[in-house]
Amino acid sequence: MTIEGASDISRLLTAWSAGDEEALKSLVSIVYPEMRRIARQQLGWRVPDHTLQSAALANEAYLRLIGARGIQCESRGHFYAVCAQIIRRILVDHARKRGYAKRGGEAVHVPLDETLLGTRARGIEVLALNEALSSLSKIDPRKGRVVELRYFGGLSVEETAEVLQVSPETVLRDWRTAKTWLFRELTANRSKP
């Protein structure tokens, strides 16, 4: 993204925070391609008969953004952090609506890619990931936010550091620790009968 694009986003975020609904529409037209990319990434390893498509995920995120009132976004990174939370909630809601929590094996699979696990990509169940991430957030809220921002939001280390107001080194350290913790939790849950 160009510097001009970043300043446009900042200007639109300020206007939207002040209640300008047209600013949100303009903002989303600028960031929608990135939202689609994040949605495609999240759904890339889904079960073949899974009904949620990346366009639907991005559109649902847009609708929830429009419906949200009083969201204060201070930067491009903060806006994407909000988008990451919304996308995570949509995926979890969709999995719950489909009844996958009760059926197990045919659940919506969301990949923990190589950068998250440090191994070959493999599908995991979105509700298991959400539960593990919620547990991590109770233990260490910042590490939970790092995963949410990097994994669900697609933010870079630098953008994550900006949103959390910490150094990039802290983000990298939290990211490594969180990946290890989540891997252990998710593999332990898979081995339970």
pLDDT in tens, 146-193: 998 888 887 889 989 988 999 999 999 999 999 999 988 888 866 555
**Looking at the 3D structure of the chain, how many domains does it have?**
1
The SS3 assignment for 112 reads strand
Joined together, the tokens standing for residue 132 give 């593990």
Domain limits for position 169 = 3-191
Contact between 39 and 31 under an 8 Å Cβ cutoff? The reply is no
- The pLDDT, as a whole number, for residue 174 is 96
- The pLDDT, as a whole number, for residue 140 is 96
The DSSP code sequence of 21-72 is HHHHHHHHHHHHHHHHHHHHHHHTT--TT----HHHHHHHHHHHHHH--S--
- The pLDDT, as a whole number, for residue 124 is 55
Q: How far apart are the first and last CA of the chain?
A: 47
138 vs 36, residue with greater confidence: 138
Joined together, the tokens standing for residue 102 give 């009760």
Read off the pLDDT of residues 64-123 as tens digits, 9 standing for 90 and up.
877 766 666 667 777 778 888 888 888 888 877 776 445 555 544 444 444 444 433 344
CA-CA distance, 125 to 110, in Å (whole number)?
Answer: 6
Task: Report the DSSP beta bridge partners of residue 116.
Answer: none
Joined together, the tokens standing for residue 116 give 């998250």
- The pLDDT, as a whole number, for residue 192 is 59
- What does pTM read for this prediction? 0.65
56 vs 49, residue with greater confidence: 56
**Chain length of the chain:** 193
